[in-house]
Amino acid sequence: MSPDGEGTQETETHHWFDDDAGPVVRPYAMTRGRTTSAAQHRLDLIALVVAEHRSGDPGADQTLSPEHVDIVGLCRASPQSVAELAAELDLPIGVVRVLIGDLVDEELVHVTRPVPPAELPDESILRDVINGLRAL
């Protein structure tokens, strides 16, 4: 391959997708075409999703998709941010938001809101952050 990474590539036969492209399913098929979930505020990337104690065995709930079940499972181990869930499940953020919205409606998880936008966190929290960074 030439140093600029091009050249030979064009002559090779390429599939239009490969493993890196992820599953060949349109992502919003998993949300049955929904791009937003009703009555659900826009979830921040660092909002934490926490499994409810009584989430039981979500795998037994036939109304849930495997992705829903995965989310509950991950969150049960420890609270997960929306961004972490998207990365872990390899799904676009928008899809994960809709799925989380479903789970909130089903009361299988709840979401903790991060510090509201446009409001700086408490000064004592900022001091804790500085001290925490120094101690790393």
Partner 1 sequence: MIFGRSERGKAPVEPVTLKILVAGGFGVGKTTLVGAVSEIKPLRTEELLSEAGRPLDNTRGVEAKHTTTVAMDFGRITLREDLVLYLFGTPGQDRFWFLWDELATGALGAVVLADTRRLEDCFAAVDYFERRSIPFVVGVNCFDGSARHPADAVRQALDLDPGTPVLMCDAREKETVKEVLIGVVEHAMALGARRRQPATT
Residues that bind partner 1 (CB under 8 A): 3-5, 20-22, 44-48, 50, 53, 78-79, 81, 83-84, 86-88, 92-93, 112, 114-118, 120-121, 123, 125-130, 132-136
Closest CA to 107 of 68, 35, 54: 54
Token pair for residue 38?
Answer: 């009703």
Least Å distance between CB 63 and partner 1? 26
Q: Phi first, then psi: what are they for 81, rounded to 5°?
A: -75, 160
33 to each of 9, 28, 30, 99, 120, how far by Cα in Å? Answer: 35, 5, 7, 11, 36
Least Å distance between CB 67 and partner 1? 15
Q: Enumerate the β-bridge partners of residue 48.
A: 81, 112
Q: Which is nearer to partner 1, 47 or 100 (CB)?
A: 47
Q: Which is nearer to partner 1, 44 or 61 (CB)?
A: 44
Q: Rounded to whole angstroms, how far apart are CA atoms 94 and 126?
A: 30
Least Å distance between CB 60 and partner 1? 21
Least Å distance between CB 17 and partner 1? 11
